[in-house]
Amino acid sequence: MKKRNNILKLSVLLISTVMILSIIDVAAEDIIELKKSSNDTSTISYSGNNIQGDWVESFDFYAAGSSLHGQGGWTGWDNNPAVTAYVSESQCHTYPNSVLIGSMQNVVHQFTGVSSKIWRFTVYLLIPSFLSGFCSLNLLNTYSHGGPYSWSTAIRINGNDGTIYSDPGGTVLSLDYGKWHLLEFIINFEENTQSIYYVHEHGWVLLDSKSWTEGYTGGGALNLAGVQLVGTYNSNIYFDTFTLRGIPELEIKSIKGGLGVKAVIANTGIGNADSVYWTMFVQGGMLNLINLTTDGDFSSLGPGEEQMIKCEQPVIFGFGKIAVGVFTAADNGIGYAQEYKQGFQLLFLTLI
């Protein structure tokens, strides 16, 4: 009897020790709710053509009627001011200005440092009802004044037959005149792909989805070197509100047990994740008596940042095999991240 009592005391001591160590571990992790890496790039800055955050061009700080050549990183093609375009106040998406691409005008804005991860490029355009010429918006993977040049994307706006399309082989749509519409480009350098969308009052339409390096010229680079706006004869098209932003990429870095369940969400992309929401579930145990779901959100998560999340029930009680899952997404991200783990619930301890 005395021997049995000693064994019982030892068992209680062992379980108590494990629980105390788990509490210490949880307390230590609770101190660090948000960790920023040493290479955090969440601060937005713009220097010349080098993108270090978000690039936005609205033409609103230039004088109406002024030449675009030499302003805000824009130049005539091959640095030739004779083919410049001009700032206009006749139409605007953001008050008061836009840029009007007229006949035989050809301007380019160069970028550097846009060659990895995933990026979103957008621009608004308005096509007047009197358009009868031809205009192109092109994205280049290689550009220097005087060459070499290599194009990845060519969007053709044809006033002769009233169409807009991605050249070559993209969906052909009828033009909708006199209204501002959005073009969106998702450029994925990790997978060497691009997806192009035309957005109007009827919804989103996929114009094209293809390789980035082989998209137009062929044999190109995994790089965004510039955007080109070209007008031919009788071309009068307004462009406004250009943006170039890195896209966040969320990842579930870890799922851990102890007393309760916790996980770490990380942003491994190059853009700030806005309005991040998440769901965690813990299910199973004997007779499936454990069935917990926790939802949460936080306003933002910068590049290189991590955020710990927890099951809302701080201590889970039960016995048997369990499944733990975590799902997360951001309003401005693409897709979602999810991770699943198998574990075991040992009374108050969650073993994963």
> Rg of the Cα trace of the chain?
28
d(CA 285, CA 16): 22
141-198: pLDDT as tens digits? 999 999 999 999 999 999 888 899 999 999 999 988 899 999 999 999 999 999 999 9
17-54: pLDDT as tens digits? 333 333 333 333 332 232 222 222 222 333 344 544 68
Band (pLDDT 50/70/90 cuts) for residue 327 is very high
d(CA 62, CA 97): 8
Q: How many Cβ atoms are within 10 Å of 336's Cβ, its own excluded?
A: 12
Whole-Å CA distances, 259 to 63, 145, 345: 63, 62, 10
Average pLDDT, the chain: 86
First to last CA, the chain: 36
Contacts of 338 (CB under 8 A, 6+ apart): 252, 325, 326, 327, 328
Give yes or no for a contact between 122 and 185, defined as CB atoms under 8 angstroms apart.
yes
**Token pair of 65 as six digits:** 């009627």
What is this structure's pTM? 0.79
66-125: pLDDT as tens digits? 999 999 999 999 999 999 999 999 999 999 999 999 999 999 999 999 999 999 999 999
d(CA 246, CA 118): 6
d(CA 62, CA 245): 22
The domain locations on the chain are: 26-42+248-351, 58-246
In the prediction, which pLDDT does 128 show? 87
In the prediction, which pLDDT does 200 show? 82
Backbone angles phi, psi at 19, to 5 degrees: -65, -40
Average pLDDT over residues 223-235: 93
The residues facing 199 across adjacent strands are 182, 204
**Token pair of 154 as six digits:** 């060519």
Segment among 5-14, 249-258, 335-344 with least mean pLDDT: 5-14
Would you identify the CATH topology of the domain 58-246?
A: Jelly Rolls (2.60.120)
Does 3.20.20.70 match the CATH number of domain 26-42+248-351? no
The residues facing 46 across adjacent strands are 51
Whole-Å CA distances, 300 to 213, 266, 274, 304, 318: 32, 11, 4, 12, 35
DSSP-derived 3-state class of residue 148: coil
d(CA 333, CA 248): 6
* Residue 224 buriedness (CB in 10 A; 0-12 / 13-18 / 19+): buried
* Residue 37 buriedness (CB in 10 A; 0-12 / 13-18 / 19+): middle
